[in-house]
Amino acid sequence: MNTEIEGVILAGGESKRMGKNKSLIELNNKPLISHVYDRLIEQVSHVSINTNQPIQIFPENIQFQDRILNNPGPLAGIQAGLFYAKKNWVQFCPNDSPFLPINLVELLSFYIIDKGPTIILPSLFDRLEPVFMLCHHSLLKNLEDFIDQGGRKMELWIKENNYKVVIFSDSKSFININNLSELAKIETENN
């Protein structure tokens, strides 16, 4: 566990493709968000949840809403996570990725150095995984300015900053479940 890094689960989406709150959809009799929480809490000092609708299975005092209301997508959750951060580094993860690597923070935080990258993120098969970024709190104002100027694309914002990519190879690591057919497929493969 890295006590200098906190975790934020991004659960502020509308879950349109699921038809109900994606956080509470169950995989193997356990809510998706609980899979993520259980894997992340072992790696960081504490975990908070960015959600725009309370998730009853978690204490209210670890949940917070977006602060930007014009729906800039996951960037709003990242902005809120950085705003409420108590630590200098925040590990972000989406609520729908039950196979989050148990060594994600260890592998990303290896690249924390003085005057080094302010964003460290995984890549799988030459594809960036931006919602799994480890981000320094000092980028809060930078992100707010990006959003205020109409920026919505995460990768564009990341590439405007000092970032480091860490290569991962396990194809399951960053699977996210967007709809019920993907859920059924994953349940079949894991039983």
Separation of alpha carbons 88 and 146, rounded Å: 20
Q: Which domains does the chain have, with CATH numbers?
A: 5-189 (3.90.550.10)
Residues 142-165 have pLDDT tens digits of 999 999 998 889 999 999 999 999
The rounded radius of gyration (Å) of the Cα atoms in the chain is: 16
What is the structure's pLDDT at 34?
A: 95
Residues 74-100 have pLDDT tens digits of 899 999 999 999 999 999 999 999 999
Hey, which bits of the chain come out as E strands?
5-10, 26-27, 30-31, 47-50, 63-64, 89-94, 119-124, 127-128, 134-136, 163-168
The two beta strands, 5-10 and 89-94, are parallel
> Which residue in 46, 84, 47 sits closest to 65, CA to CA?
84
**3-state secondary structure (DSSP) of residue 13:** coil
Q: Which residues contact 191 (CB under 8 A, 6 or more apart)?
A: 28
What is the structure's pLDDT at 14?
A: 57
What residues in the chain have per-residue pLDDT under 50?
none
Distance between first and last Cα of the chain: 30
What is the structure's pLDDT at 16?
A: 54
pTM of the model: 0.93
The two beta strands, 30-31 and 163-168, are unpaired
